[in-house]
Structure 1
Amino acid sequence: MAPISLGDRIRQFSLKSLLVTEPSNTRLIWVWGILLVGILGIMGNLYKLQVQQGPVLQQKAREQQQFKARTYAPRRPIVDRNGQILAIDRPAYTLYAHPILFKERPEAIAQALSQPLNKPPAELLKQFRRRESGIQLAYDLSEEVARRIGGLHLDGLELTPYQQRLYPQNNLLAEVVGYINLDRQGQGGVEASYQTFLERSTQEAWVNRAGNGLILPDRLPENFLETDEQQLQLTLDSRLQRVARSALKQQLETYRAKRGTVMVMNANNGEILSLVTEPTFDSNVYYKSELELLKNWAVSDLYEPGSTFKPLNIAIALELGAIRPNSVFNDEGQIVVDGWPIQNHDFSTNGGRGALSITDILKYSSNVGMVHIMRQIPSETYYTWLEKLGLGTKSGIDLPGEAASQLKERSQFIYSPVESATSSFGQGFSLTPLQLLQMQAMLANGGFRVTPHVVKGLVDPQGQQHFSPPIPPPEPVFSPQTTQTVLGMMEKVVTDGTGQVAQIPHYRIGGKTGTAQKAHPQGGYYERARITSFVGIVPSDPFLSQNTPRYVVLAVIDEPQGEDAFGSTVAAPIVKSVMEALITLEHIPPSTSQ
C-alpha cells in the first residue's frame, strides 16, 4: 500500500472538520436560544415582581421585617413618704406550647417542664393533647423561671413577655394605692386618679425583627428603651399604716364589728399619713375579693357622725357670739322638741345633770345640753354655717369615688325645729368619715379648711420634685381664738370625760367620743345597730408655732356588738395606739405644760 502523503492528510482533516462543524454550530445555536429564552423569562419575571407586583411585595416584606410598636415604658412606681415601694412594674411571662412543632417526645418535654412549672408531668401531657398549637401552660412566670425554661432549648415552646404590676406590701395600702386591670388601667386608689401620671407618655416607632420574629436590638430606634426614673410619692407612712391596721383589726375582732376605718391627717396642710379600712383586699389578687371590698368606704360611704360633731357645733356658737366659754345651760336629761323626745345616752342611769358649763356639756356628751346651745342660733344662720363647714359638698381628696355629704333641704331645716335639735348632736345629716376628719382639722389648725390629699407628687431617686398636685389654699372658717377654746374643752373630754382611755402620759390631747344610731337606708334608724367613733388631736398644746403640725386621728367602727360597745371602749383605744406610734415616728416632743 502506498504511503499517504502530507497533502492527502491535510485534505482528509479539513473534510472531517467540515463534517463535524456543521452539527456543532446547530447545537450552539440551540444552547444560545435556550439561554436567551431563559434570560427573557427571568427578565419578564423580574419585571412582574419589581414593577407590576413591586408595591404589594414591598409592603408584605415590610410587614414581615418591621412592625410599629410603642416606646417601651413601664408604669411609674408608687412609693410612700419614706420611699418604700408600694407598686412597681416587673417583667412576667406566659408560656405557650405548640405540640405540632415538638421535636422531642411529649413525655420528655412534660418531664423537663414539670419542675420549673411545679406541675406533674401527667397534667402537662393532658394539656398537650388539647390541640396542636397555642396551648397556654402557665401565666405569671417570673424572669428566673422563664430563663430556666428557655435554657432547656425545646422546640414548640413559646414564652411571651408582658409587664405585670406588683404590690410588695400586699393589702397594707390597698385602699389608697388601688389596682390595675388586664388593660393596665387604674381601677381604684391613686392607680386610677393619677393614671395619666403613672402611665409614661410613649411614641410609636418602627422596629426591625429577624426572620424568626425576634427584635433586632442593634436596629432599635434611638431612645426606644429609655425611661425616666420618676416615682409617684404618697403622703402616707407605711409604718404608721401597719400600726393603724393592726389596732383596728384587733378591735373589730374583739367587738365582732362589721367594718372600720382609721385615718391620720396633718391638720396644717391636709396630708394624709394613714388611711386604713378593714376588711380590705390584696391589690395583687384583687379579682379574688368581693366587689364591696374594692371600694374605699371611708371616702365613698355616708354615715351620721353623732357626738364627734359636737365640738364643731360649739365652735359655730362661739364664733357667732351666741354663747360664751363660761355659759351655763340646764341639762334636764330629756326634752321634747316638736313632738319628738330627745334624751341623753346615759339618762336611764344618771338622769338630768342640772346646770352644766359648755365644757361639761362636751365632757359628758350631753345631747340635751347641745340642743339648748344651738337654740341660741336662728335655724337659717345655723344652716348657713353647716354649709360653710362643707356639708352638702365633697372634701376634694385626690382619690376616686368620693361621695358628697348630705344635708336636709334648707326649707325643711329652717321650718322644722327638730332638724336643728338633732343636728346639734350630730344626727339628721350624713357625711363620710374622711369629711369629718377634714372638719375636725379646722379645730386643730386654727380654723382653716384644708384639702385632704394622699399624693406629694412625682419625685426622682434623688428626691427632686418634678410635679406637685395643685392643692387649694387653706380657707379660713373659724377664728384662732374660737378653735383654741374648743380644743381646750376637748382636752377635758380626755382628762376627765368619756375619752379618758386615750390619755398618753406627758402629752396634751384633745378628743371626742361618738356613739350614734345607725341610719336605715329607707329612713329612720336601725333598732340596735350603732356606729362608734373617736377623734383625737395631738398635740393640743395652746399657742404652738405656725410650723408645728397638729395631727388629727379618727377611728370609726360600724356595728360593733355588745352592751359595752361605745366610742370610748371601741374606737378610743385604737386612736390611742395610733397616736403613740405617731408621736414616735414624727418625733413629737412632750407637752411643756399639762
Structure 2
Amino acid sequence: MQKSPSRRRSRKSRKVESPKREGQKKRRRFLPSFNFNSQPQTPNIKTRLLIVWGVLVAAGLGLGMNLYNLQIVQGPKLKEKARNQQMVNLRPFVPRRQIIDRNRTVLAIDRPVYTVYAHPKLFNKSNQEIAKLLAPIVDKDVTELKNKFDNKKSGILLASAMPEEIANRIFALRLNGLELIQKYSRFYPQQDLVAEVVGYVNLDRRGQAGVEYSQEKLLERSVQAVRLSRTGNGSLMPDYAPDGFPYSDDLQLQLTIDSRLQRIARAALKQQMDKYSAKRGAVIIMDAWDGSLLALASLPTYNPNEYSKADISLFKNWTVADLYEPGSTFKPLNVAIALENGVITANDTFNDPGYIQVGDRTIKNAENKSYGRINIAQILQHSSNIGMVQIIQRLQPSIYYGWLEKLGLGQAVSTDLPFVVASQLKSQEKFITLPIEPATTSFGQGFSLTPLQLVQMHGALANGGKLVTPHVVKGLVDSKNQMHYTPTRPAPRQIFSSITAQQVVEMMETVVADGSGKASQIPGYRIAGKTGTAQKASSSGGYISGARITSFVGILPVEAPRYVVLALVDEPKGANAYGGTVAAPIAKAVMEALITIEQLPPSQAIRQ
C-alpha cells in the first residue's frame, strides 16, 4: 500500500526543520513564565540577615552553655573519668617473707611455680612424639599422655604447681602448644621437720596454722597500690612509675628454733614411740633465761607442702592446744611452793608407810611401795605420793590455791604460737572445802595444763624463780643479720626466790643421780630431772583404764641452770612403760646434742 504524497511531504517538511529551531523549542518548554509587570516576591535582605544572625547567636549560646556544663558543672567528674581511663591502680605481687631458724636455715619461702597446659591442636610434632618428650618431665605414662592429646585438642592440664627447675626443662624443649603460667607458691624446704611450729599457707595465701597463722602481719609485706599511666592500647608506661617501684624489703622472720636440735629431738622421740607403740609424743627445749624455744617437736606430724593430704587434727599443735595431767613432774613445783612458804625445810623428813587416808579416800604410791622415813630429796627420787601429800597438808588450802593461780593454773600460757588453751583448776570453793583436792594436786593430778605451760613453770626453777614467756619468734632480720623488729613480751614475773629455786634444782639432781631418772645421766654433767607416769583422764570423767602419759623434765647444768627439756610420750604400750624408761632416754639424747651445740663445758664439781 502506498502512502499519500501529502503525508510524505509533511514528514519531509518536519525533517528539514532546522536543528537550531528544534533546540529552541525544547528550551522554551522548560523555561518558567515570569510576569515582568508584578513586584518581586523574595524576602527582605535585612530580615534574612536577622534570621541568620539569630541562628548564629542561638548556636553560640547553646555552645557556651554546653561548654559551661562540660567545663564547670561536669568538669571534675569528667576529669576523673578521663584519668581513670588513662591511669591504672596497680598493687604488685610481693612474695611473703621467708621464715628462717636461729641459724638462718630456710624453713618457709615463696617460690615461682607453673601451671602447665597442653594444646595439641598447636603441636608442631605428632602427639606420640610430644608425649615421649613430656612423660619423664611431668612423671606420667607416655600412652596416658598420648591418649589425652588424642581425645582433647586444647586446655589439657599437665601440672598445677610445677617447680621452676622442672619448668625450665620444658622451656628448653621449645615446643609449640605448651602453655606455662607462672604463679607463686609457699614452699617448706624442711618438709615436716618444723611443721608444728611453722604451719602452712592455703591456696589463698593465708596462714592456717603455726606462725604462718599467728604472725600473718609480720609475714605479709605492706605494699601500697600505685597509679601508673597507660597508653591507648592499655600498655603500662614505666617511665611514669614512682621512684623505687616496685620495692621489696629483704626482711625475714627469724625463729628461735634450732633445726639441728629439732631433728635430733624428732629422731629420738620417734625411736621411743616406735619401740613402745605410743599414740603420740612431744619434746620441748626452752632457754629459761629468756623463754626462747630451741626445739618443739611432736609426732605424728604432717608435710606442709602436702597439707591437703594430712589429718586436720595435726594442724593444731597439741603441746599448746591439748591439756593433760602432769603427774609427778609437777612435784618439784609443789616442793618449791612449800619451801617458799616456810612450811618445810630442805632437811625435813617424813614417814612414808605406802598409803595415807584423806577424808574417805585412800591414797597410795605407785605399785603400793612404801619408803619409810625419807627426806624431801628422797621424796622426789622415789616419786613418793605419800610424802607429797604430807608436805602440802602443812599448807592452808587457800594459800596453796593462791600459789597455783600465781603459777598460772587456770589461765592460758602467753606465747606466740596459735590455738593456745587455758589450763584447768578446780573452783576455789571446791578446792578449799574438799581435802582430797589439795592432796591429789600435790602429786600432779586433779588439774590439767599444756606441756608448754609445764615447761614454763620449770623454767622458773631454772632461772632463779622467774616466770618467762615461752616464744618461737625472734624478730624481723635483714640479709646482713641486722634485727629490725623484736616483739614486745610481758616482763618476767618473780615467783620463787633464787635460793628456793636452786634448792629444788639440786634436789632434782638426786633423781637423776640416784632415783628414777638414771636413764638421763650424762657423764661429766650435772643434770636435774623428774620423771612422771600419770593416769590419763577421760573426757567423760575419771581415768582411762590402762592409759598413761609418761614424761621426763630435765634442767641443766645444775651449777648454772639455764635449759629446760621436756620429753612426753602419750599411751606407750608395755609393762615397763614409765617416765624413767620411755621419756628419760629421749631427754638424754636431746641434752647430749644441746651440750654439743651450745658448747656447754663439763661441770666443775665433777671435773675436780
TM-score of the aligned structures, taking structure 1 as reference length: 0.84
Distance 1:375 1:61, change over 3 A: closer
User: In the TM superposition, what are the counterparts of 1:544-555 in structure 2 within 5 Å?
Assistant: 544=560, 550-555=562-567
**Aligned AA (2:201):** I
1:281 equivalent in alignment to 2:299: no
**Aligned AA (1:198):** L
**Aligned AA (1:567):** G
Residue 127 of structure 2 contacts residue 150 of structure 2 at CA under 8 Å; is this kept in 1?
no
Distance 1:59 1:145, change over 3 A: farther
1:593 equivalent in alignment to 2:605: yes
d(CA) in 2 for partners of 1:82 and 1:415? 53
Q: Which residue of 2 aligns with 1:576?
A: 588
User: In the TM superposition, what are the counterparts of 1:124-135 in structure 2 within 5 Å?
Assistant: 124-128=145-149, 133-135=154-156
User: In the TM superposition, what are the counterparts of 1:461-480 in structure 2 within 5 Å?
Assistant: 461-480=479-498
1:310 equivalent in alignment to 2:322: no
Q: 2:400 is paired with a residue of what secondary structure?
A: helix
Residue 71 of structure 1 contacts residue 224 of structure 1 at CA under 8 Å; is this kept in 2?
no
Residue 271 of structure 1 contacts residue 454 of structure 1 at CA under 8 Å; is this kept in 2?
yes
TM-superposed CA distance for 1:567, in Å, is 0.4
1:327 equivalent in alignment to 2:348: yes
Residue 83 of structure 1 contacts residue 233 of structure 1 at CA under 8 Å; is this kept in 2?
yes
Q: Percent identity?
A: 55
CA deviations on 1:391-419 (whole Å, 9 max, x unpaired) are 01111110101111000111111111100
Distance 1:111 1:578, change over 3 A: closer
Residue 127 of structure 1 contacts residue 137 of structure 1 at CA under 8 Å; is this kept in 2?
no
CA deviations on 1:174-225 (whole Å, 9 max, x unpaired) are 1101110001111111111111111111222356899999988777664344
User: In the TM superposition, what are the counterparts of 1:415-426 in structure 2 within 5 Å?
Assistant: 415-426=433-444
TM-superposed CA distance for 1:104, in Å, is 5.9
d(CA) in 2 for partners of 1:581 and 1:264? 11
1:237 equivalent in alignment to 2:255: no
TM-superposed CA distance for 1:127, in Å, is 3.4
TM-superposed CA distance for 1:134, in Å, is 3.6
Distance 1:524 1:74, change over 3 A: same
Q: Which residue of 2 aligns with 1:406?
A: 424
TM-superposed CA distance for 1:462, in Å, is 1.1
CA deviations on 1:45-71 (whole Å, 9 max, x unpaired) are xxxxxx9xxx99x999988x9864422
d(CA) in 2 for partners of 1:214 and 1:77? 32
CA RMSD of aligned residues (A): 2.7
Distance 1:362 1:144, change over 3 A: closer
Given the alignment, which residue of 534, 551, 555 partners 2:552?
A: 534
d(CA) in 2 for partners of 1:489 and 1:514? 16
**Aligned AA (1:295):** K
Distance 1:377 1:208, change over 3 A: same
d(CA) in 2 for partners of 1:477 and 1:66? 62
Distance 1:116 1:69, change over 3 A: farther
d(CA) in 1 for partners of 2:351 and 2:364? 13
Q: Which residue of 1 aligns with 2:222?
A: 201
TM-score of the aligned structures, taking structure 2 as reference length: 0.82
TM-superposed CA distance for 1:136, in Å, is 2.1
Q: 1:171 is paired with a residue of what secondary structure?
A: coil
CA deviations on 1:232-264 (whole Å, 9 max, x unpaired) are 111011111111111100000111110100010
Distance 1:155 1:207, change over 3 A: farther
d(CA) in 1 for partners of 2:447 and 2:219? 37
Q: Which residue of 2 aligns with 1:261?
A: 282
User: In the TM superposition, what are the counterparts of 1:506-517 in structure 2 within 5 Å?
Assistant: 506-517=524-535
1:146 equivalent in alignment to 2:167: yes
Q: 2:523 is paired with a residue of what secondary structure?
A: coil
Q: 1:556 is paired with a residue of what secondary structure?
A: strand
TM-superposed CA distance for 1:153, in Å, is 4.6
Residue 131 of structure 2 contacts residue 143 of structure 2 at CA under 8 Å; is this kept in 1?
yes
TM-superposed CA distance for 1:146, in Å, is 2.6
Q: Which residue of 2 aligns with 1:557?
A: 569
Which structure 1 segments of 5+ residues have no match?
A: 1-50
**Aligned AA (2:250):** E
Q: Which residue of 2 aligns with 1:223?
A: 244
**Aligned AA (1:372):** Q
Q: Which residue of 2 aligns with 1:93?
A: 114
d(CA) in 2 for partners of 1:213 and 1:297? 53
d(CA) in 2 for partners of 1:279 and 1:204? 43
